[in-house]
Structure 1
């Protein structure tokens, strides 16, 4: 596999990156000729943007968070509920009413990801080229309609068809949210914000369980499982209107910000993010570079291994719980504490990854360690009490935190729109492949113990720990080599050299906004270039 190209030393060695970063300041890592404390407009004119003080910077970030985070959180939560409500409906008559026998249910679980797989790469390209909010709204209308139509299914063929179409409709969700996050936020903010909206998965699981428990008591002529799909489908369709009217397509079109605030928001992303994402074109050389990058395949492998267990457990969760001796209604309630644990793992690990630039790979290993133990306990259920097996099931809850940490690594460590969106598409191809394979480990002949499945889950998560260690070592070696070759310390918190060769280190998002008004940005700072070709760019570990 290829490695990043070598750089000859261009600047004198600067001060080492502080391990304990001041909250309210930024540090010059390499001194440029131009240190004028002002920022020019992006068109290279002499227009000067007014200075943003710390309080104003904090206020700007709060305004961005208040507008984006609730929308992204709720949208991702609905995506999870619509996808996994199948598990709840499986114990409320869906299998019987659709004449599912043998491995039929496993294929109904898997076919969603065939649709997702088919559309993952095209939609990743469209996300970067179309108005992202409008595109996401249209796909939300489509997936809400498909969920509602599922209630009309009465055969295996019909169920397979709508689940495939749901996969196509939902394929846009994750790439769009990743693109939006990397557009608006700095490299230090991305992991935390990704953790916030990804936690919508777990909260969606809680809401889904409560909804299934309530609807499960319905005794009229329409089966409870049909009501679950009707209600969720209608709610998702209405969500599309909120996305259409409230989510901006880009920073430059954000009407909830003043023109001055839009300038600050755009410049802070250039200084401490992963570059500009507006008005870009497809670049084949960036796609090739992505495929040549060793970290691409390490991250891809971990995503695949994380999703094989996920694909099985999210669709067979209720069936596994009922095998411990619980009723169908009780199984829906038991998933609530499971979802709470998953929420804590996702949001907590995301916050830590944003706070500490060298913790991401370590956190991946830590969150998948409990599932290794949990799957071993469930696999030994014949020789241990049901209570211990249930404890093992709860240990599986931290596993879903691995994927958002991988998403954060992609958003923070890839620069160049084409390169990043190529990696995003590859990541979700791995996501689909894992989720297609996962349900097939749950063999109908092994119901209710599913011995093969839980042995497979244990092996997959154990391999993730090993790959995380390899990835961290590789990124550290690359950072050390680039430091020697470039002759500067660089920064894992900013986008690299800007303003004629200056490399800075910002403490947080507020520092990035302040820095945007202390550095004279030049037209070339807005160029769409990759991490391999950016002086001073250092990888988060």
Structure 2
């Protein structure tokens, strides 16, 4: 076996009692494994390591992708459509039929995030404590009902109440998807899988635009905007039934995997992921550690500044587009290329963040550069042709890619279920605060140019660049300090991880490793020996 880096105490074979992550050069294909690297027969896994009984990890991951990712993608797609259809509805009679005046539409936009804010912390705790699929499915049934009932609104007060309840319902969605992703996938896989389901946002933008365009031609019996909420509410309710029927609560209950594969899937996230997540106790010590961790607040501040632009542009997009000289129907179609650009940015940066361990923070800075240029163009629209302002609007499309990159940092860099879910809750508190503030910057008296709003977008994204680069410098300094203190290189991914001094194959993470009971314990990144942060 290849030599391993030495610990400070000079012992090659010593291990840390908290966890056993070290880094070592990979085994040569011709290097025989020692017999003590095989699973203990007492664990019932000896047969899975021999001959035809060996688990095909690539095939197993493909099966996980096929059964889990489509449901997460659909959930996030409806999550986006149901909260942002308000923008399309606003130009098809919603404001007039509900007698909205002055800044009341801005408050209807913002109140969704007040509901989200109120529900975020309890929702995050429930996600970690309850069977996640059943909880998410039941919550989606409630959420779909609220969307459908919005079609019956006939005034400011009922519309405000329904949007608040929608925020309460959707507060569970993102924490649940973060939890599911970190349950099933390794640190190398999390960014690309997060990018896949988060792209549901942008695909939802395309679907909702086409839906709004089609229903915008319907003028019989009900106004077009009412049909939009009825159709999306029914679709969301059906999605809830699908989640209850097909999404597993955990790896242990996944019927599409064999018992051997379920054991292997659990072992690989213990070795190369963020540890087991099966119904852990809520640990207040981990919550305190999260509050004391500087990266917590750097990520939260970055999320806040990313969402100030998002909150306004999501709800005022169609109003702004009509000010460029397009009618209501055309404004819905113009959002389609915008959504395509967002899909490309989200999927591309998700792949890059998974492929390159030190690119995440740099990618956050890069994706907000086009929106900085775009907001600058729109804020000077009085002196520019409409086509240049429209180009500025399309440049805003890459901005939404910053949030899934932040989510990937949380999932990959926070170990310990309570610590990770506490960080998730804080991130979405910042998400709510930004989305509450964003619409208020679109002052009704400044319509349709909204000069204040686009100047605020420019400033917010400029600050994101500085915070993202600052976060990268901080994480790199922590990695260097831990490497010096521990005396080993450590690992920021599945590749070259070592448990108990035994090399792990990146393509077979749990293969040939005898896991001890303590390896399944719920410990944080601060207390995991050899843990290195993705940059």
Q: TM-score range by the shorter chain?
A: over 0.9
CA distance in 1, matches of 2:504, 2:530: 10
Matched, 1:197 2:191: no
Matched, 1:175 2:175: yes
Q: Deviations over 1:355-411 (max 9, x none)?
A: 000000000000011000000000000011110000000000000000000000000
CA distance in 2, matches of 1:218, 1:520: 64
Matches within 5 A, 1:429-508: 429-494=429-494, 499-502=499-502, 504=503, 507=506
Residue of structure 2 in register with 1:287 after alignment: 287
Q: Deviations over 1:219-261 (max 9, x none)?
A: 2131000000000001100111110010000000001110001
Residue of structure 2 in register with 1:68 after alignment: 68
Residue 520 of structure 1: SS of its match in structure 2?
A: coil
Residue 120 of structure 2: SS of its match in structure 1?
A: helix
Counterpart contact for 1:26–1:506, Cα < 8 Å = no
CA distance in 1, matches of 2:108, 2:57: 49
CA distance in 2, matches of 1:76, 1:394: 22
CA distance in 1, matches of 2:156, 2:453: 24
Matches within 5 A, 1:97-496: 97-494=97-494
The CA RMSD over aligned residues, in Å, is 2.4
Gaps of 5+ in 2: 1-6, 14-20
Report the number of matched residues: 520
Question: 1:74 deviation in Å?
Answer: 0.7
Counterpart contact for 2:23–2:496, Cα < 8 Å = no
Gaps of 5+ in 1: 1-6
Counterpart contact for 2:23–2:498, Cα < 8 Å = no
Residue of structure 1 in register with 2:17 after alignment: none
Change (3 A) 1:259 1:470: same
Change (3 A) 1:10 1:424: farther
CA distance in 1, matches of 2:512, 2:328: 61
Matched, 1:519 2:523: no
Residue of structure 2 in register with 1:50 after alignment: 48
CA distance in 2, matches of 1:320, 1:359: 34
Q: Deviations over 1:30-66 (max 9, x none)?
A: x9xx97232248xx74653512899811110100000
Counterpart contact for 1:218–1:224, Cα < 8 Å = yes
Change (3 A) 1:25 1:244: farther
CA distance in 2, matches of 1:182, 1:271: 13
Counterpart contact for 1:275–1:495, Cα < 8 Å = no
Question: 1:343 deviation in Å?
Answer: 0.4
Counterpart contact for 1:280–1:528, Cα < 8 Å = yes
Counterpart contact for 1:495–1:537, Cα < 8 Å = no
Question: 1:90 deviation in Å?
Answer: 0.2
Counterpart contact for 2:55–2:260, Cα < 8 Å = no
Question: 1:212 deviation in Å?
Answer: 0.2
Change (3 A) 1:159 1:295: same
CA distance in 2, matches of 1:83, 1:26: 56
CA distance in 1, matches of 2:495, 2:410: 14
Residue of structure 2 in register with 1:3 after alignment: none
Residue of structure 1 in register with 2:525 after alignment: 531
